[in-house]
Amino acid sequence: MSSAVQRRRPQTAQQFVLEELRRAITSGELSPGGQIRQDALAARFEVSRVPLREALKALEAEGLVVHHVHRGYFVAELSLGDLEEIYRIRELLETEAVRRAVRRLPDGIVAALEGVQRRVERAAEKGDVSTMGAENRLFHFTLIEASGMPRLVRLITTLWDSTDAYRALYYTQGPHRTRAVREHRAVISALRQGDEDAVVHWLDEHRAHTVAALRSVLGGERR
Domain end, chosen from 57, 75, 93, is at 75
- Band (pLDDT 50/70/90 cuts) for residue 187 is very high
Q: Provide the CATH number for the domain around residue 136.
A: 1.20.120.530
Q: What is the span of the domain harbouring residue 201?
A: 80-222
Looking at the predicted structure, is the pLDDT value of residue 5 above 90? Answer: no
Name the least confident of 49-58, 159-168, 185-194: 159-168
∠ Cα 84 158 68 (to 5°): 80
Measure Cα distances from 137 to 27, 119, 180 in Å: 12, 12, 12
Looking at the predicted structure, is the pLDDT value of residue 69 above 60? Answer: yes
Q: Are residues 172 and 152 in the same domain?
A: yes
Distance, C-alpha 161 to centroid of its chain: 5
Looking at the predicted structure, is the pLDDT value of residue 113 above 60? Answer: yes
Of residues 112 and 19, which shows the higher confidence score?
A: 112
pTM: 0.75
Of residues 15 and 189, which shows the higher confidence score?
A: 189
The answer to whether 174 and 127 have CB atoms below 8 angstroms apart is yes
Q: What is the pLDDT of residue 153?
A: 97
Of residues 129 and 157, which shows the higher confidence score?
A: 157
Q: Are residues 29 and 121 in the same domain?
A: no
Average pLDDT over residues 27-51: 87
Looking at the predicted structure, is the pLDDT value of residue 91 above 70? Answer: yes
Q: Are residues 98 and 55 in the same domain?
A: no
Of residues 23 and 193, which shows the higher confidence score?
A: 193
Domain end, chosen from 19, 52, 75, is at 75
- Band (pLDDT 50/70/90 cuts) for residue 114 is very high
Q: Are residues 90 and 67 in the same domain?
A: no
CA-to-CA distance for 205 and 28, rounded, in angstroms?
A: 25
Report the amino acid identity of residue 204: D
Structural Rg of the chain based on CA atoms: 18
Looking at the predicted structure, is the pLDDT value of residue 146 above 70? Answer: yes
Q: Are residues 41 and 100 in the same domain?
A: no
Environment class of 38 (CB within 10 Å of its CB; exposed 0-12, middle 13-18, buried 19+): middle
Report the chain's terminal Cα–Cα distance, integer Å: 41
Of residues 220 and 130, which shows the higher confidence score?
A: 130
Number of separate domains in the chain: 2
Q: What is the pLDDT of residue 130?
A: 82
Looking at the predicted structure, is the pLDDT value of residue 40 above 70? Answer: yes
Measure Cα distances from 76 to 42, 79, 83, 134 in Å: 20, 10, 12, 21
Looking at the predicted structure, is the pLDDT value of residue 26 above 70? Answer: yes
Looking at the predicted structure, is the pLDDT value of residue 9 above 70? Answer: no
Of residues 63 and 203, which shows the higher confidence score?
A: 203
Q: Provide the CATH number for the domain around residue 8.
A: 1.10.10.10
Phi, psi of 170, deg, nearest 5 = -65, -40
Name the residue among 62, 87, 88, 89 with its Cα closest to residue 75.
62
